[in-house]
Amino acid sequence: MGHTIKIDGLGVFSLSLKFTDEMDENEETSPQHEASKTKKKYHHVKVKGLNFKVDKKLVAAINSESTFEYSGVNAALRSPYSFEERAQRALTHIEKHGFITLQDYANLNRLSRSTASRELKKLASDPTSSIQANGASSHKIWVKK
């Protein structure tokens, strides 16, 4: 039925469809139509979006004419502070503000959220540490013991 359009050298566009029970304003509202409506939960198909799949030749042309390098995500997030310095910076922040959040700790020490989470968990579970966790999930904060 022509639901896809191929453009040579670029790719293929296709429709993403959805089923709906909404009526258009130009559809009938006769008793027969109402009876058929109760039999089928969804009887209308509408366009939900547009999909695109790039042509393999275009990808090959881009790769042959370009050079890409991976610098590594973790290299950009490597903290210039040691673990002990990060713990001390967290304590200083807690003394000044009363608590520290995961995002605060990550920003303060230039860490990813996952690394910051692991470090705060390690600090809170250490009996010699002066930091403890309060709350849960997205409402978790760390305070001084």
Tens-place pLDDT, residues 85-137 = 999 999 999 999 999 999 999 999 999 999 999 999 999 999 999 999 999 98
pLDDT of 38 over the 70 cut: no
For the chain, what are the domain ranges?
Answer: 4-65, 77-144
Q: How far apart are CA 81 and CA 71, in angstroms?
A: 21
Tokens matching residue 4: 């896809």
Closest-CA residue to 120 (of 138, 139, 106, 136) = 106
Mutual orientation of helices 83-97 and 113-125 as an angle, nearest 10°?
80
Q: How far apart are CA 116 and CA 105, in angstroms?
A: 6
Say which CATH topology domain 77-144 has.
Arc Repressor Mutant, subunit A (1.10.10)
Tokens matching residue 100: 């520290």
